Amino acid sequence: MDTSVGEFDVSGIRCAGGFQDDSGRTGAASVATAGSCEYKLEPYVLGGCNAIVCTRPNPLTVGFDFAAVSEVNLDLSVGEFNVGGVRCAVGYQDSLGRIGAESALGVTITACTSSGNYSVSGCFIVCSRPSAGSTTPPNGYDFQSGVVTEQMTLGLLGNPFIVSGIRCANGFEGGRGEIGTDSAASVIVTPCATSGPYILSGCKPVICDRPELNFAVGYDFAAVSEVNLDLGAAEFNVGGVRCAVGYQDFLGRIGAESALGVTITACTSSENYSVSGCRAIVCARPAGVLKAYSFQSVLESNLDLSQGAFSVTGIRCSAGYQDAFGRTNSSSVATVS
């Protein structure tokens, strides 16, 4: 180029493939520098383009194992990028579920576009349902009664980890005592940290308690047998509650026999179990015509045996009758029970 006829002016030169300019730009976006020659007919001087050299990710990308990596070529200016042997780390798998050495088939290794780290992709954490492959779900959680949604691959196509619809199993409750469908809101699902079962929490055993006496008036717990109150461990098992003094079951049984008529019902959330089947013994004035007795002066102070001792006085023998001591009329005293 003859610079004697004007100022040196060369532009539009780009960096070739495998090179970048001083600002890290490549291809059509790159800008090479051109300097004039010192003597006539000498080549002008080019500059500003540098080799693109990739480097291993640092720090190493989580989820990938570089122990067997083969970095044949990292300098894109001298040849095609050539790196292989990266596999999924322990606890990760490729999109086809392969692990270990086989997972290297699913790993994509992408060259850098400007000097810097090359990138790796294709390894994921895949959570599984606890006790997967078993017909028995984790103790305390119910996968069968509701509609359970599980999206358990972390990082695949940007999909978030989603598990919903699990509820507390029978015999278990949520943190606020919720059971059944309502308990689903209390179930906490934590993603697995490495491929494996996700973690469930939020359900606790339902544990029944003996009713306080003021809530179980009419019942005698002296001989109660509380074999099991923990509904998360086994079936509710309580017996031996009987009707208290002054009470009877619906068949009129009292004392130990009345236990046969007492119904003991388990709690549904952690609270008192309930008892039913006993009613107060309430006496009534004899019905019909009792010719031998006069009720004209009777005083029925207490007929309800649940409230205290039976108390009836003032019944006399009718005219023509006498008591056990030979007394008649107003002097007589009839026995009452």
**Per-residue model confidence (pLDDT) at position 168:** 93
Predicted pLDDT at 9 = 63
pLDDT the model gives residue 298: 83
From residue 119, how far is each of 84, 164, 245 by CA, in Å?
Answer: 12, 34, 83
**Which residues, in sequence order, are bridge partners of residue 119?**
110
pTM of the model: 0.67
- Cα 178 to Cα 141, 168, 218, 296: the distances in Å are 13, 9, 30, 61
Helix (H) or strand (E) holding 188: strand 188-190
CB neighbours of residue 174 within 10 Å? 21
Measured CA distances, 50 to 23, 46, 47, 117 (Å): 10, 11, 8, 16
pLDDT at site 259: 95
> Which SS3 state, helix, strand or coil, does residue 196 take?
strand
Give strand pairing partners of 121: 108
Q: Report residues of the chain scoring pLDDT below 70.
A: 1-6, 8-12, 32-41, 44-48, 132-137, 154-159, 289, 332, 334
Owner of token pair 């020659």: 37
Query: Per-residue pLDDT tens for 31-48?
Result: 766 555 666 667 766 666
> In the prediction, which pLDDT does 197 show?
86
Classified as helix, coil or strand, 232 is coil
Give the per-residue pLDDT at 158.
Answer: 54
User: Does residue 180 contact residue 198 with C-beta atoms inside 8 Å?
Assistant: no
**Residue 157 CB contacts under 8 Å (≥ 6 apart), including other chains:** none
Q: What is the pLDDT of residue 132?
A: 46
Do the beta carbons of residue 239 and residue 221 sit within 8 Å?
no
C-beta of residue 70 within 8 angstroms of C-beta of residue 84: yes
